[in-house]
């Protein structure tokens, strides 16, 4: 493969992503300034943390086949497939649920296939053990030598790639908040922030496992704890992909106030959390809070990530 095919700059990403002030009385009355870090505008096919997590992984793959994992509606699979199409390398998506193999592809998987991704459906029990050496060996035996990227894209290179998000915010905010799934974005964001800044993660899954995941990623990526970060685990709304009426009502209101389409699975939970925290007095007057917008409603319209 020609080396220029792996020059990610040819995709013309919008970097640094825009930082937009938001005038919102729910924050202003507590002396808090809200900014939106519009990572959703980085690239139409690799938006938000997908770009930041994949960029170093794709450079390391150097044109080899990329094999990765996801559910039937995985935005990570879609982004990887799109990158393969745009940069000209083969991709394999290992999809959770072998019962899906005989069914028509949903819009998300159909997009992956249209972008040239080979889809391999795996039974759920084996999928849960996808990190085991024997499972990986079986996949590599079936597909040949591949560069393997974990589900959600969170690994050492992803965390290192996300440090640039923190660097782009030096001197721009006191607190930088992001919705979290697997922890890679938070791990890198915190490491990239300047002294005196802190990162706040809002998990969208239940379980209380994310703190350990972030610490482990930072140990592997940076040799130990990096930056100041914390989690507030109260705003998952029941768990992954749970979006009750109260969350939709909040997101609808935010859209009407600010003219910003709000993705429900991650971004709405983040913005809801920040609004509640401001009301609770969690931010001192004079604090500037930047919320990282990691996805768009269009990206998640047929997806549960």
Question: Would you list the DSSP string of 196-253?
Answer: T-EEEEEESSSSS-HHHHHHHHHHHHHSS--S-EEE-TT-STTSTT---HHHHHHHHH
pLDDT of residue 7: 75
| Structure token digits, residue 11 | 């995709």
Which residues in the chain show pLDDT less than 50? Answer: 1-5, 301-305
pLDDT of residue 299: 58
pLDDT of residue 298: 64
Strand positions, DSSP E, the chain: 19-22, 33-37, 66-70, 91-96, 118-122, 147-149, 175-180, 198-203, 229-231, 288-292
pLDDT of residue 305: 33
| Structure token digits, residue 297 | 């409603």
pLDDT of residue 8: 80
For the chain, give the number of residues: 305
pLDDT of residue 302: 35
| Structure token digits, residue 79 | 């982004």
Per the DSSP assignment, residues forming a β-bridge with 175 are 198, 289
pLDDT of residue 1: 40
Per the DSSP assignment, residues forming a β-bridge with 203 are 180
């Amino acid at each position: 493969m020609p080396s220029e095919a792996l020059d990610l700059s040819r995709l013309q990403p919008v970097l640094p992503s825009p930082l937009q002030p938001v005038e919102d009385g729910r924050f202003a009355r507590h002396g808090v300034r809200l900014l939106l870090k519009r990572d959703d505008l980085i690239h139409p096919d690799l938006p938000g943390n997908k770009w930041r997590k994949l960029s170093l992984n794709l450079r390391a793959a150097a044109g080899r086949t990329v094999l990765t994992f996801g559910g039937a509606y995985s935005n990570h699979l879609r982004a990887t497939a799109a990158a393969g199409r745009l940069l000209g390398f083969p991709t394999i998506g290992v999809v959770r649920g072998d019962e899906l193999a005989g069914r028509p592809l949903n819009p998300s998987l159909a997009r992956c296939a249209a972008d040239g991704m080979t889809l391999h459906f795996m039974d759920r029990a084996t999928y849960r053990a996808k990190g085991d050496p024997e499972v990986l060996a079986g996949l590599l035996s079936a597909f040949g030598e591949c560069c393997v990227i974990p589900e959600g894209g969170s690994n050492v290179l992803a965390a290192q790639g996300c440090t640039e998000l923190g660097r782009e915010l030096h001197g721009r905010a006191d607190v930088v908040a992001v919705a979290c799934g697997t922890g890679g974005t938070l791990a890198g964001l915190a490491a990239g922030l300047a002294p005196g800044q802190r990162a706040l993660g809002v998990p969208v899954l239940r379980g209380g496992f994310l703190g350990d995941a972030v610490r482990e990623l930072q140990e592997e990526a940076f040799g130990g704890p990096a930056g100041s970060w914390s989690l507030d685990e109260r705003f998952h709304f029941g768990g992954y992909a749970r979006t009750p009426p109260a969350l939709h009502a909040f997101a609808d209101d935010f859209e009407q106030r600010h003219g910003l389409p709000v993705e429900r699975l991650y971004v709405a939970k983040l913005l809801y959390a920040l609004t509640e925290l401001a009301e609770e007095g969690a931010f001192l007057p004079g604090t500037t809070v930047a919320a990282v917008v990691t996805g768009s409603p269009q990206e998640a319209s047929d997806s549960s990530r």
